[in-house]
Structure 1
Amino acid sequence: MKATTLGYTPDENRYRRSHYRRCGASGLKLPALSLGLWYSFGDDFALDNQRSIICRAFDLGINHFDLADKYGRPDGSAEESFGRILRTELAAHRDELLISTKAGYPMWPGPYGGGASRKHLLAGLDQSLRRLGVDHVDVFYSHRPDPDTPIEETMLALSTAARQGKIRYPAISSYSPEGTRHAAQILHELGTPLLLHQPEYSMLNRGIERDLLDTVAELNIGCATFSPLAQGVLTGKYGDGVPDGSRAGQGRSLSLQKVGDETLARVRALRHVASRRGQSLAQLALSWALRDDRITSVIMGVSSVQQLDENFAAQKRAEFTDLELKEIDDCLSAPS
């Protein structure tokens, strides 16, 4: 990151550093590693640190920043922080950025404060645009399926937002394979095709391998996965117990049950595989998540520039031998 008296000047070689993958049948390419602003952004964290992470990510060619109205403490504060950084550091480069956000979780009181109704999604989008200080976002997700709202209404809301120019592409997150097919069909008929699905995926959560990855490939839509480090478990930080300030220690989005003895035994075994590959455990987990060409981008969260630089190196090692993949599968299926 280069500092000038006028603020931040991006590295001119930034697009030589990241690998980019085409997003389904669209004209859009995403960096193999994207930056998610779920956990370490918002009012709980120093704005200068957030600014340093964002600017360093852009210097590395990471131009996809993933948000949601629910991100940050309090709700919405991650969008507000990113909006400030966008205005002060990156405003001149807005057209180089892919900014995504989501709506669907409870954000305000009353029956319209959450869910996937037209009322909630369009109001939530307007609120996000105000917090971000932009007139549109590039990708807007239905953050989760809503059993109380017909999927036709949800997809019509996404299509409406696209036609209004408030979003460039509709997307969905955490939908089932069947829900994904239905959503894609509706949006195709509305003339605003589905761009992207965002599911959770990591070495410790491989559910999308059963059907969803085949579904996105068949539909020719992108797949941007989140929580590749299983909310920090695959960094090895829980090897000696639950650290103070960690997600599990604070009860924030990660329960103590998910860092039990069997899980930690798997993590210890994986650490040996990482060491033989000359990687940290986190790098191994990210490289592994990138190994499948059905995955367009892996969304990582970081809390420091140092962590960002370390994790970024994982994109260079996304190839595995059959023996390495078998060894990883053995580690995951038979903890000792």
Structure 2
Amino acid sequence: MPYSAASNRYESVSIARSGRSGLQLPRISLGLWNNFGDDRPLETQRAILLRAFDLGVFHFDLANNYGPPAGSAESNFGRIVHEDLRPYRDEIVISTKAGYDMWPGPYGEWGSRKTMRASLDQSLKRLQLDYVDVYYSHRPDPNTPIEETMAALASAVHQGKALYVGISNYYTVAETEAAVMALKAEGVPLSIHQPRYNLFDRDIETGLLAALEDLGVGIIAFSPLAQGLLTDRYLQGIPTGSRAAKGRWVTESDITESYLKRARALKEIATSRNQSLAQLAISWVLRHDAVTSALVGASSVHQLEDTLRALDAPPLSPADLEVIEAQMTADPE
């Protein structure tokens, strides 16, 4: 039967504005970095995506190289949009990125004007779309002037192929300010920044977070669960088939006694709040007003639903934050 979205999908969803832009996102967005390539059944992907939309998740984040193989996440998502979600296109925020290795030769990666333009055209074809809502530079290019990369993003807006532009993995304040100024010269604001941010990786707190708040640029945090380290998954060992077992993004060497001590302490805090460790980790990322959305993955409908329950908990109190901070700064030995 044709898909019909839940009529109550916006009744309990929490939405935030990205900086000072008109871009609004759900507090939890769904990323297709993993689990949406050709190594996963399309029907499993469809079930996750449609359930997410029914639950008020209307932002789906991709990149040209997501898979495996590279490009397959966009192709699979495009097929599901075409077959199921096309009637709701005006409700949905779809983002993609360019910058990592995609095809042979010097223009298959990084941030030249040629690369950024060709990649977006390829992405739109795979996605079966006329435009994306957000187009990102996936990483800074040390050999291309930032003005050229940002001009390519602005050109996508001027051509109607993107509505907003963003940057990801730009971790210095200087790079970010340069991107803002270069885009301003093109008449296009920087609407969103996508950095890695979680309890175990807090580098953006050393200056970038405050700078983005001052610049009026929203933040969507990727890896809020630290590739599964901020979940219950590894507290009793390394499950077969897990990322650590496969050595993908996380390895067995990451599951140290220091890590386990810290993760178990956080688990106790989560339990006291009737949350899972993952839900606590998301509540912590979203505690800061500058963070528009937390970008999560999902390998099943159950995992998606469990993650979204993070929004049901009350905000972290100053006392909660003090306890969490004490655990994170204590000597784990």
Bin the TM-score by the shorter chain: over 0.9
Say which is worse superposed, 255-264 or 310-319, in terms of deviation: 255-264
Distance (Å, rounded) in 2 between the aligned partners of 1:128 and 1:52: 23
How many matched pairs?
331
Q: Which residue of 2 aligns with 1:285?
A: 281
Q: Contact (CA 8 Å) 1:291, 1:318: kept in 2 or not?
A: no
Q: Which residue of 1 aligns with 2:8?
A: 13
Q: Could you tell me which of 260, 264, 276 is aligned with 2:260?
A: 264
Paired residue type of 2:12: R
Task: Call closer, same or farther: CA 1:83–1:270 in 2, change over 3 Å.
Answer: same
SS at match of 1:274: helix
Q: State the shift of 1:311 in Å.
A: 0.8
Q: Could you tell me which of 312, 315, 319 is aligned with 1:316?
A: 312
For the pair 1:170 / 2:165, whether they are aligned, the reply is yes
Q: Which residue of 2 aligns with 1:182?
A: 178
TM-score by length of 1: 0.96
Deviations 1:188-209 (A, max 9, x none): 1210111100000011111111
User: Equivalent pairs: percent with the same residue?
Assistant: 51
Paired residue type of 1:256: E
For the pair 1:143 / 2:141, whether they are aligned, the reply is no
Distance (Å, rounded) in 1 between the aligned partners of 2:125 and 2:320: 47
Distance (Å, rounded) in 1 between the aligned partners of 2:164 and 2:128: 19
Q: Could you tell me which of 129, 134, 151 is aligned with 2:129?
A: 134
Q: Which residue of 2 aligns with 1:220?
A: 216
Q: Contact (CA 8 Å) 2:23, 2:191: kept in 1 or not?
A: no
SS at match of 1:79: helix
Deviations 1:267-288 (A, max 9, x none): 0110000010010111111111
Q: Could you tell me which of 102, 108, 114 is aligned with 2:109?
A: 114
Q: Which residue of 1 aligns with 2:206?
A: 210
For the pair 1:44 / 2:39, whether they are aligned, the reply is yes
Q: Which residue of 2 aligns with 1:242?
A: 238
Deviations 1:177-225 (A, max 9, x none): 2111110111112101111000000111111111111011100011100
Paired residue type of 1:329: E
Unmatched 5+ stretches in structure 2: none
TM-score by length of 2: 0.97
Paired residue type of 1:33: I
Deviations 1:98-146 (A, max 9, x none): 0000010011111111111111111111111111010110000000111
For the pair 1:296 / 2:292, whether they are aligned, the reply is yes
Unmatched 5+ stretches in structure 1: none
Distance (Å, rounded) in 2 between the aligned partners of 1:74 and 1:169: 27
Q: Contact (CA 8 Å) 2:279, 2:309: kept in 1 or not?
A: yes
Q: State the shift of 1:323 in Å.
A: 1.8
